[in-house]
Every structure is written in structure tokens, then in C-alpha cells.
Amino acid sequence: MLPNTGKLAGCTLFITGASRGIGKAIALKAARDGANIVIAAKTAEPHPKLPGTIYTAAEEIEAAGGRALPCIVNVRQEEQIISAVEKAVKTFGGIDILVNNASAISLTGTLETETKKVNLMMDVNVRGTYLTSKACLPYLRKSKNPHILNLSPPMNMKPMWFKNHCAYTISKYGMSMCVLGMAEEFKGEVAVNALWPKTAIHTAAMDMLGGSGIEKQCRKTDIIADAAYCILTKPKSFTGNFIIDEVLLREEGVKDFDVYAIAPGHPLMADFFLDAETDMTATKSESHGASQASDGAKVNKESASAGPVAETFRVIQGELNKEMVKSTQGVFQFELSGDEGGTWYLDLKTSSGSAGFGKPPAAADVVMSMSSGDFVKMFTGKLKPTMAFISGKLRIKGNMALAVKLEKMLTQFNAKL
């Protein structure tokens, strides 16, 4: 862990989305120096699924040694942003640091993403970041060492990072474009940087996206808080950077990263938008395989009767039972490319269930497209579905909740395969 140095004592941080998760972790790290924290977030009343409110966060910040100003702010509402900024200046005398952390996510394809979800992501991620920065900048320019820090990724323009969740990618890259533009526009006056995690970070939102057990593949929010602290205590000449948490902390001398792991020693899931060097060949071969997916209908049952995919489905068929069907109630269709490519299915909706080659006996609730090699890895426990999806190896259309259910069921199949 990176020790506190006291450099943020008396500084005022305006943090969006600071009632929980990464935003709150950054706030608590600064509070230990004796900083003033403006908690600019929506949650004033307890949420049924997500922990914490702006008031519970304020209590934690003050217990850690900081001063807190909880403000009800929906960054989609410009007047709420401006009001909170004015309260911050009146209460603390100015603003030294802005952390644009508030973000919305929907990991859905173009046809599956409702317009209201598109609007939400664009309004919160891009417009909210832009307008909050605009409102804070007049006061930041008066600070001795002002910083804007956006929680957004380096802009990796490989198509794989767009194809499965185009709207989300556009919205996050919009935040990164704010860094590019404002860092240059306010060079010498205000530092503007982006911070992104190398691995998945365990938050309540990640639990909702990944389901039970996902936390073992994640790091704690502490690693982002430490990296943010390191950036925000640098001089304002440190600007225009797209920083990966682990890379920066290694440069700062941190050697033990197990302290940040939820389950030390457990394999970690890479975050969105970052290429794993070892996956480059797989990415290239998969893009080639995708062009062959439409040829699935040409594969006959005889050619699909032997090999690892066929063996996987044979084992699955033997494990199916009425209880599994009752608890799942879903039909899964797999469009596989490469060896044993074609259409395969897993019916967990009718009778005692069935699995095999060809179209499912009932309409599919979820369609999963991937290479046959990755399919086998997924069902034998060598590739986590969440990781496959995030890295672009798995494309999902249809009911995402059912897709999460399948991931939980895979543990039952892994032992037999």
C-alpha cells in the first residue's frame, strides 16, 4: 500500500460518484491527509441493491480525518453541478481537485441497447464529465496545484473494444477525449489526466455485472485510491497522461500487489480496453474465424460427432436434470467458429433439458458466439465467461441475466470435463 504523505492536507476535492466504490475510496485516501471532500453523488436515500449514501460516506470521511460536504448531484442536471460547486467554494474557500468518477454502464450491442440507456451513458460519462469540469475550472485555475482526474481508459481503437458494447465504449472514450483536449487547453494552469485499472476492481456494480464469485478475480478499490493519490500529489506539470494503476505504482516502488487482491494468488481479470499481450494471436485468429461463422450450416452431424466440442456436449447432456432446468429456465444457442464450428445448443427450459449439435428445439433466449477452442476452455474452467466477454472472445445477444446464470452453472460442469 502507498503511504499517505500529508500533501493533500487542507486541499478541497470535488468527487463525483463518491458515495460508494472507487469514488469513496479516493475520498477516504485523501481524507487521511486531512483534505476537504465534496461528495457529489445522487444517493441521498439508501438504495435497495447498492450500499451507501452521501451521508454515510460523509461520516466515514470525517472519521478518517477529513471534512465532508455531502451534495445531492445528478451529473445529468447542470444546475445541480453548479449548485454543488458554489456550496463547495462557500464552505471550503475554493476547489483544488476534481475527480470525474461518476459513470454509467450497459454492456450491450447496438440493437440491444435501449435509447434511454444510450442517453444515460452519454449524459453521465461524457456530458457530465464535461460540464462538471467546466463548472470547476474557474476555481481550479486559482489553486496552487490544481488537478482534474477522469476515471477513463486509454483510447484503444481496436474494433474488438467497440463491437460488443459500442455505446459504452463511445461514452468512456468521450471522457478520455476530455483529457486530451483540456490537458492541452489548460496546460501550465491545470493538470488533466486519466486513470484506469489494469484489472477488474471489486465494487457493488461489478457484483451486479459479474454475479456471485466475481470478486475473486478482482482487486480492491484501494489500488485505484493509491494510484489517484500519487497522481494528485504530483505537480500540475504532470498532465495529459493516460495512466494504468499498476504501472504507475510499480514506478513509485510498490512491489507487493497481493495486498490489493480480494483473493491473493487467484487469477485476475483484465479490465476493458487493455490488450493482454498473450492474447494477440487469439484475437487475430478469432477475427478470421468470425468470417467463417456463417458457414456453420455446412457442418454436418457426422463431422461434429467427434472432437472436444462434441465431447463437452456429451458430458453436459449426462449432467442435465429437472432441477437444473427448473432453476434456469433458459435456452442457450452457441455459434462456434473454427474446428467443429456451427450451431450448438443447451436447452434448460423444456422437460429434463437437452444439449447437442444443431438449432435448439425452442427459441434461444441467449445466443453466444465464440471460437470452438474458447468454448471448450470456458466449459472446462480454463477461461472465465466474464473474461471472455470483456476481452471480446465471447459475444452475447439476448438475456444477460441468463448468461450470468450459465456462468454460475459452469462450476457444476467443470469437474466432469
55 has catalytic annotation: no
Q: Residue 104 phi/psi, 5° resolution? A: -120, 150
Cell of residue 77, nine digits:
442536471
Cell of residue 68, nine digits:
465532508
Q: How many CB atoms lie within 10 A of CB 372?
A: 23
Give the C-alpha separation, 111 to 74, whole Å.
27
Q: Are 113 and 167 in contact (CB under 8 A)?
A: yes
Summary count for the chain: helices (H), strands (E): 16, 12
Q: Region of 166 please: left (phi>0), alpha (psi -120 to 50) or beta.
A: alpha
Give the C-alpha separation, 296 to 210, whole Å.
30
Q: How many CB atoms lie within 10 A of CB 363?
A: 10
Give the C-alpha separation, 122 to 131, whole Å.
12
Distances (CA, A) of 302 to 82, 298, 355, 357: 67, 11, 16, 10
Cell of residue 413, nine digits:
460442469
Question: Nearest Cα to 342, choosing from 292, 410, 398?
Answer: 292
* Catalytic member of 130, 168, 173, 260: 168
Q: How many CB atoms lie within 10 A of CB 265?
A: 7
- The dihedral through the CA atoms of 225, 213, 270, 105 has a sign that is negative
Local structure of 405: helix, strand or coil: helix
Give the C-alpha separation, 248 to 254, whole Å.
9
Give the C-alpha separation, 399 to 380, whole Å.
23
- Catalytically active residues are 168
